[in-house]
Amino acid sequence: MKNQLKVLRAMRNWSQADLGEHLDVSRQAVNAIETGKYDPSLPLAFKISRLFDLPIEQIFDDEFEGAVDV
Amino acid sequence: MFNTDENAGRNALRILGMILCGFGIIMLLGAIMGFLSVHMAEGGGPLNMSDYAIVAALISVNLMLAFAIWRLLQQMKRSDQKVPQREKVYNRFMVGSFLFGGVTGLIFALTGSFDANETNLFASGAMSPTLAIIMSVAIGVIMPAVTFYWHKNVVDEQEEAAYRFGALIAMYAFWFIAPVWWFLWRGGMLPNVNGIVLYFMTLSVALIVWFWKKYR
């Protein structure tokens, strides 16, 4: 899944280690999420959302463009 | 600070390099022990110059491999200014486990506590009750407890996912390899199915997939 994590991290001049420290995950985890190789769990996505004070959908993009039927 | 992360991406290769160097050290120590055992079996006595040269060469290669591990470790440390707390605990746990396993194996090897045949993992020969109990307690009691702690407190969710995927692929590997081996044995083309070989094949698949998913 595409995401803005690397950009948001750069805006704060944080290393992957810094972000890993804030999220209590390893640098490999941060790298895997940034490069779209791993999609975080919902609890971790909420943690990221709170850390950057942004809604989840502004950080993660599932590239869905249609409308949801209800 | 931001750009130092690109260097951290090579850590998978560094870890792989350290593991290979570690195996090299263990094999070379085995070669030295084997060489000295043959010398003793042939009557012992002082080593001649060529014997000294062989042992010195093996020790030199071992020292070079140890130096390579140290250099790779230093490069890993330099690849980023700091390491998250969870990763520090992870690294200490890994280094501690390797040291404990390595030192224990080395003590057994150097003291000649057990016969080479009974410590051979792929052999099915008789084993002394002492070693059988030590191995059973290590694999059946200590390892599960350490593994439980490892998964509950040390690994993060990305690595947990890597473990799950590795376990899934290993399960499929077992499902397919075991019956194929069994059929080929019945057809007279392979020796009888060996449970321990199957166990190590399954374990190897799980570890390779885990490594790829965690560090790719």
**Interface membership of A18 toward B (CB under 8 Å):** yes
In this structure, is residue A65 part of a structural domain?
no
pLDDT tens-digit map of B55-95? 888 888 888 988 888 888 877 776 655 778 888 888 788 77
A9/B2 CB distance under 8 A: yes
Q: What is the pLDDT of residues A31-59, one digit of tens each?
A: 999 999 999 999 999 999 999 999 999 99
Is the Cβ of B86 closer than 8 Å to some Cβ of chain A?
yes
User: Looking at the domain assignment, is residue A27 inside a domain?
Assistant: yes
CA distance A18 to B133: 46
pLDDT value of position B40? 78
Query: Does residue A6 lie within any of the structural domains?
Result: yes
Judging contacts by C-beta atoms under 8 Å, the chain B residues touching residue A27 are 5, 8, 11, 80, 83-84, 87
DSSP alpha helices (H): ranges in B10-48? 11-41
> Which residues of chain B lie closer than 8 angstroms to A31, CB-CB?
5, 8-9
Q: Examine residue A64 and state whether it is found in any structural domain, yes or no.
A: no
CATH of the domain at A47: 1.10.260.40
How far apart (Å, rounded) are the C-alpha atoms in residues A23 and A51? Answer: 8
- Region B12-24: mean pLDDT is 81
pLDDT at position B164: 96
Tell me the residue range of the domain where A39 lies: 2-54
Band (pLDDT 50/70/90 cuts) for residue B6 is low
Nearest-5° Cα angle at B66, B122 to B138:
40
Q: How many domains in chain A? A: 1
Instruction: Name the percent of chain B lying above pLDDT 70.
Output: 86
Mean pLDDT of chain B: 83
Contacts of A18 in chain B (CB under 8 A): 1, 82
pLDDT tens digits for range B92-138: 887 788 778 777 777 776 666 677 666 666 667 788 888 889 889 98
Q: Is residue A15 part of a domain?
A: yes
Contact (CB<8Å) B85/A24: yes
3-state secondary structure (DSSP) of residue A60 = strand
Residue B25: is its pLDDT beyond 50?
Answer: yes
* The predicted structure's pLDDT at residue B140: 94
Confidence of residue B8 (pLDDT cuts 50, 70, 90): low
A20 part of a folded domain? yes
Question: What are the Cα distances from residue B45, in Å, to B37, B50, B55?
Answer: 12, 14, 15
Q: Is residue A62 part of a domain?
A: no
Q: What is the pLDDT of residues A1-30, one digit of tens each?
A: 899 999 999 999 999 989 999 999 988 899
pLDDT for position B3: 47
Per the model's pLDDT, the better-predicted residue between B92 and B209 turns out to be: B209
Residue A34: closest CA among chain B residues belongs to which residue?
B5
Do the chains contact at B84 and A32, CB–CB below 8 Å? no
Which of A28, A30, A41 to probe the B interface (max B CBs under 10 A)?
A28
**Is residue A63 domain-resident?**
no
- The pLDDT value recorded for residue A8 is 96
HSE, side-chain direction, 13 A CA sphere, residue B139: 6
Contacts of B4 in chain A (CB under 8 A): 15
pLDDT of residue B55: 85
